[in-house]
A and B are shown apart, each in its own frame.
Chain A
């Protein structure tokens, strides 16, 4: 039977073929069995809101497949995407651990499988399994480092063009497919969302991408972006 959204769904964590590659999930079998006992597997279409900034923490979401954007808003209502969460990440952990409202909102940007664990169950799970505590600590450390990288980019970049170049280079390293013509990227974000990642306006992103295109640094066809001249992008970046 075809699964919703054409996702390959894994309901049993112990049988998950990619568990060993995931920072949080790569725990011993007894711990994973306990995790299986408290999680609820759900599939979400693109654009599903998992939790909202300021909401009391209901629990954590383990992102099994798909991706989600984590956003926060300034007092002026300006939205900033603080991170694009990748498979294997635990979402909402810091709020759930501290018992304080979620600091960010989480929304899927592609069809996703998520395992939800209710707050009480997650806290009991951590309390019972030291290994889970250690893996959660590693996951939180990773998130902290990622946030520090964002702070560096926001605080040290001199121009918006530099921030956009930095973002494209990061995508090349993390998700790029090398081809004879350059590095090919599948961009699922809108110009508005790209703007929210680098703290600027949609108009500026559109103008800068056109400028990069005119200078033959990139080429755009639909949702495919080809970085044909990485050296020029590198030259723009000081951070």
Chain B
């Protein structure tokens, strides 16, 4: 499998890192292990501390492809937690990785405690969208 394009997922800013680090649960992921699967309801957010996590998309015929990659300082699953929608892709450790996990309820409680974090959430989601546009430009260019 080849990576079609590498773009950052959500980049965490420092104020968010400080707030999140107090309640995250560190988890280690060997290469190939699956953080979450496409179609699953979001359990929470994953802050990538080290390693690389592929965001893998699958077709009905079983064909799968990693189209986005997240690295240290990025968050996976944020848009799903905000919207309550199922994951659009699976997340698989491309290299041995360490993430900090915060479950959905705790994350929501944190936002209620510190409403100022919403502004950071908006910035992170905006960055995610821009990253997707970069990826789309790359995929179009490649054809």
Contacts and interface: CB of A to CB of B under 8 A. Distances in A.
Given A137-B82, A141-B125, A155-B67, A239 B119 contact: no
A199 interface: yes
A134 B126 contact: no
Given A127-B119, A140-B126, A141-B82, 17 more contacts: A73-B137, A74-B137, A74-B140, A74-B141, A78-B141, A94-B129, A126-B122, A133-B115, A137-B122, A138-B83, A140-B79, A140-B128, A155-B4, A155-B65, A155-B139, A238-B60, A238-B61
B127 interface: yes
Tell me the dominant secondary structure on chain A's binding face: helix
A76 interface: yes
Given A103-B130, A137-B122, A149 B88 contact: yes
Contacts of B85: 141, 145
Interface in A37-75: 72-75
B22 interface: no
Given A94-B126, A130-B118, A133-B119, A154 B139 contact: yes
> Can you list the 8 inter-chain pairs with the closest CB atoms, starting with the nearest?
A147-B132, A94-B126, A141-B83, A140-B125, A141-B79, A133-B118, A154-B139, A238-B61
A93 B83 contact: no
A95 B133 CA distance: 12
A64 to B, nearest CB: 22
Contacts of B80: 141
Given A72-B133, A145-B83, A156 B65 contact: yes
A199 B85 CA distance: 27
Nearest to A70: B133
A72 B136 CA distance: 9
A82 interface: yes
A141 B85 CA distance: 9
B130 A238 contact: no
Interface in B99-143: 115, 118-119, 121-123, 125-130, 132-133, 135-137, 139-141, 143
Interface of A: 72-76, 78, 80, 82, 93-95, 97-98, 100, 103-104, 126-127, 130, 133-134, 136-138, 140-145, 147-152, 154-156, 158, 199-200, 237-239
Chain B interface size, as a band, is: 35 or more
A147 B129 contact: yes
B122 A145 contact: no
B18 interface: no
Contact of B59 (A104, A127, A199, A239): A239
Contacts of A76: 141
B83 A142 contact: yes
A136 B135 CA distance: 23
Contacts of B126: 93-95, 97-98, 140
B122 A238 contact: no
Nearest to A157: B59
Contacts of B59: 156, 238-239
B140 to A, nearest CB: 5
Given A130-B118, A239-B60, A154 B125 contact: no
A155 B5 CA distance: 10
A73 B134 CA distance: 10
A148 B78 CA distance: 14
Contacts of A147: 129, 132-133, 136
B129 A154 contact: no
B126 to A, nearest CB: 4
B45 interface: no
